[in-house]
């Protein structure tokens, strides 16, 4: 089932573009000075990608929150996007309740649930995405594309990045066979090992996404960090030989030169403690294309790894149990 959902990533991106083009987002009555996105898990990761995609262009700060409480700087000059595929995510609903009291312009991105009900009742702008997907983590395309269109329609970014989504679709379609083949190789490399995922700070969303997919689809632990920050702390932790660790570097030909040098030095240091190091080089002409290429590669890898681990890639019983137990506790 999960492989079928991953197969639909490209069609989903195409549909998301159509939804975004026809979405109606009204101007805010106040100048927008900052953007805040409330969302968690598969619904929240889209915000991380958008934050990186618009880093060089967005006219105001773009922040992502993944908890119950909103920051104190939110006010009437804030654009607040609540992203929850189900529309019933507990933490996002709590954040929404707080956002209503700030005077911020709130836009909902959801397939339904309480958030869409609130949007309709309070006459808030909303973008409703299809509700026939069984796993929110398989709906990244819907989430990130709608956030881009919200920014575009409010004149916070140009149409450059949405155009790059279109070119990324062409890239993925053209290289699909190679991507899936490479994913199988990567899954075998990671099998029976603990993945350690490294990339540069401009692509942390890729590393986070890959980590989350390994967690949920392959049912195993791993961790990630970014360069250069990890050179100031985690690198010192590499002191013991451990052949159960498998290091994955997500790399780009146009990474900042000093970061590229850092990665090469890191490999020499880490290579003393594990022989399992692999470098993955992106395809694409820009950050959007490169990131979505890595997303597609990582998603397939997590599925193939689930097969090697002999686990159900769809099942998330422990999360369902957590929500059930939380439901027994009053606020």
Q: Which residues are catalytic?
A: 216, 232, 323
* Helix locations, the chain, DSSP H: 2-7, 9-22, 41-53, 90-99, 113-122, 140-153, 160-174, 176-190, 204-217, 257-270, 287-309, 317-327
CA dihedral 82, 148, 253, 234 (to 10 degrees): -10
Query: If residue 75 lies in a helix (H) or strand (E), which one and from where to where?
Result: none
Best CA proximity match to 16, nearest among 50, 40, 48: 50
- A 10 A CB-CB count for 171 gives 22
- Backbone dihedral angles phi then psi of residue 302, each to the nearest 5 degrees: -65, -35
Give the DSSP letter of residue 2.
H
What is the Cα–Cα distance from 89 to 323, expressed in whole angstroms?
10
**Who's near 57: CB < 8 A, 6+ residues apart?**
157, 158, 160, 161
Distance CA 86, CA 92 (A): 11
Residues 6+ apart with CB under 8 A from 307: 187, 313
- Count H helices and E strands in the chain, helices first: 12, 9
């Amino acid at each position: 089932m999960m492989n079928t959902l991953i197969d639909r990533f490209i069609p989903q991106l195409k549909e998301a573009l159509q939804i975004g083009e026809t979405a109606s987002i009204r101007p805010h009555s106040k100048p927008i000075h900052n953007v805040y996105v409330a969302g968690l898990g598969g619904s929240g990761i889209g915000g991380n990608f958008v934050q990186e995609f618009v880093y060089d262009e967005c006219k105001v700060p773009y922040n992502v929150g993944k908890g119950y409480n909103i920051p104190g700087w939110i006010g009437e000059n804030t654009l607040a996007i609540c992203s929850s595929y189900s529309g019933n995510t507990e933490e996002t609903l709590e954040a929404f309740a707080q956002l209503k009291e700030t005077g911020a312009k709130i836009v909902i991105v959801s397939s339904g649930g309480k958030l869409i009900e609130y949007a309709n009742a309070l006459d808030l702008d909303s973008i409703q995405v299809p509700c026939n997907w069984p796993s929110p983590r398989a709906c990244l395309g819907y989430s990130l594309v709608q956030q881009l269109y919200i920014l575009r329609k409010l004149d916070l970014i140009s149409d450059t990045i949405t155009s790059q989504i279109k070119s990324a679709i062409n890239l993925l379609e053209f290289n699909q066979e190679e991507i899936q083949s490479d994913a199988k190789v990567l899954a075998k490399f990671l099998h029976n090992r603990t993945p350690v995922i490294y990339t540069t700070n401009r692509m942390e969303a890729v590393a986070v996404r890959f980590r989350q997919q390994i967690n949920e689809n392959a049912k195993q632990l791993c961790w990630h960090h970014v360069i250069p920050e990890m050179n100031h702390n985690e690198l010192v932790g590499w002191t013991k030989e451990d052949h159960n660790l498998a290091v994955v570097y997500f790399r780009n030909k146009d990474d900042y030169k000093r970061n590229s040098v850092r990665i090469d030095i890191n490999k020499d240091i880490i290579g003393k403690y594990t022989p399992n190091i692999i470098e993955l080089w992106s395809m694409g002409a820009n950050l959007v294309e490169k990131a979505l290429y890595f997303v597609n590669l990582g998603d397939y890898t997590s599925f193939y790894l689930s097969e090697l681990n002999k686990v159900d890639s769809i099942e998330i019983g422990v999360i369902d149990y957590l929500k059930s137990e939380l439901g027994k506790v009053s606020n």
